[in-house]
Copies of this chain bind each other. A is one copy, B any other.
Amino acid sequence: MGIYEDLYPVFYPESVAVVGASNQFRKSGFFCMESIIYRGKYKGKIYPINHSAPEVFGLKSYPTLSDVPDKIDLVIITVPAPAVLDVIEECGKCNVKGAVIITAGFKEAEAETGKQLQEDIIKTANHYGIKIIGPNTFGVVNPLADLNASFTSTLSDMEKGDIAFISQSGGMCHFFSYITMDDNIGLSKVMSLGNRCNVEFVDLLKFLEKEDATKVIALYLEGIDNPRGLFEAAKKIVRIKPVVAYKGGSAKGMDHLTCSHTGTLAGNFEMYNGMFRQAGIALAENSTELFDIAKIFSLARTPQSKRIAVCSPIAGPGIVMTDTLIKNGMDITKFTDHTINRLTKLLPPFTFRYNPIDMPFTQDIETISAVIDCVLADEDVDSLGFIMCQQEMFTPLNSGIAHALVGAKNKYNKPVAVAMIAQAYKFHSERLYLQNNSIPVYPTPERTARALTALSEYGEIIHS
């Protein structure tokens, strides 16, 4: 069997048992139960395992895994570290396919016993062919299967989408999930690998490569045990779907920290960066950018090249966007004569008719729509960065502008991204409409520019 078949029951289990399931608030077995039963979303069978309680969360509970009368695909383990090995042994006997070990206190702990315990778990799991996520993980969320095998029930609210997030850190899973949920973007997976027993980044990449529903892979990593394997896997995957990565713990002197986190050295940042770049992985410079790039990969079509146009009703943010694009190596393309002639007819004097277009005096939707069409029609333009603004003169136009952007994007099949200079709660329906129609919206010109750059760089990779 391949890695896809091996991991499939972990992400799409027909039944789940929670070992250490508890009615007691504050226990992780409580939170994991809360997640798995959350609003009845998960449709598979759920078996709480608890030595004494007859029922947990109102479900019949079993003293041990062996007492469960049916087959179990996935086991979520929350019992203390010293008890975990026996549970894995029992998993093997019950023909369990995968286990998520929430429990901490293994390789990452200070004591040597933790390290040995983890080694023993790996041996047993490999003997029985059980795939282990963790230990020391917050868990796994698979919105596509309505599965929340983590200790954070809020993440059950996540929408289904096509971005998979793989992380070395549960905390960063929370960050990524929340920023995504705030933006009405869906995910296809969220998983924290924790200490990694027999499931590594490279295994998950290979799984996600084969999962058609996942279109984009986002990674947060601190250090990896097998950089070469990751490199080879990524190189192959990026031809099929884009990968974006953010590397934590890259400053000097961080190794002792990342090691105490999930038992891995952070490794040489420059080495990783060079390797990622060579593999065609987009590099995020911070956690926000990791999301921004994953989002544009998910929503927008990949352009042919770095030739871009910028269009703004307000000069300053247009200058900032252009500035950032140039610094990031984008090509602020020269419009064709045909385009400039059309623009000259459309725009009033005082208006900058070259790229970037600044059109503060254009306040009718017909002209703005014509300008957008004209720019995207230009054969030397492969993408467009557009500024929208909350301002009493433009506010009434924004709905029409959104409509024009979607229309022209569909007509010319070129990616468009919008920087929305507005209060956060404004233009909710315009934002949704744009994003539902493959035009990502960002709150600053710089973030828009960085996302468009990553998209164009990916375009150059796959079109080369």
Contact = CB atoms under 8 A, between A and B. Distances in A.
B323 A249 contact: yes
B316 A248 contact: yes
Given A111-B349, A287-B320, 13 more contacts: A31-B393, A109-B349, A109-B350, A110-B350, A169-B315, A171-B315, A171-B421, A175-B421, A178-B421, A182-B425, A249-B319, A251-B323, A254-B319
A108 to B, nearest CB: 8
Contact of A260 (B288, B358, B363, B393): B358
Which of A26, A257, A317, A324 lies at the interface centre, i.e. has the most chain B CB atoms within 10 A of its CB?
A257
Interface of A: 26, 28, 31, 34, 104-105, 108-111, 151-154, 167-172, 174-175, 178-179, 181-182, 220, 222, 248-254, 257-258, 260-262, 286-288, 312, 314-320, 322-324, 326-327, 332, 349-350, 352, 356, 358, 360-361, 363, 387, 389-393, 421-425, 443-447
A444 B315 CA distance: 29
A222 B322 CA distance: 13
Binding site of A, secondary structure by majority: helix, strand, loop or mixed?
A: mixed
Nearest to A422: B178
A250 B324 CA distance: 9
A153 B393 CA distance: 11
A260 B171 contact: no
9 contacts: A110-B349, A152-B391, A169-B316, A174-B390, A182-B424, A222-B316, A248-B320, A254-B322, A287-B445
A315 B350 contact: no
B327 A251 contact: yes
Contacts of A287: 320, 444-446
Contacts of A153: 392
A316 B421 contact: no
A201 B182 CA distance: 38
Contacts of A254: 319, 322-323, 326
Given A220-B316, A319-B254, A104 B154 contact: no
B323 A172 contact: no
B314 A174 contact: yes
Given A248-B319, A358-B261, A174 B444 contact: no
A295 to B, nearest CB: 15
B288 A446 contact: yes
A340 to B, nearest CB: 14
Contacts of A169: 314-317, 319
Query: Top 4 A-B pairs ranked by shortest CB distance?
Result: A169-B316, A171-B314, A171-B316, A251-B326
B322 A392 contact: no
Contact of A319 (B178, B258, B360, B393): B258
Contacts of A250: 323, 327
Given A254-B323, A257-B319, A322-B254, A174 B446 contact: no
A349 B104 CA distance: 11
Which of A171, A220, A258, A356 lies at the interface centre, i.e. has the most chain B CB atoms within 10 A of its CB?
A171
Nearest to A363: B26
Nearest to A104: B350
A393 B248 contact: no
A26 B393 contact: yes
A322 B253 CA distance: 10
A326 B248 CA distance: 12
A96 to B, nearest CB: 26
Nearest to A222: B319
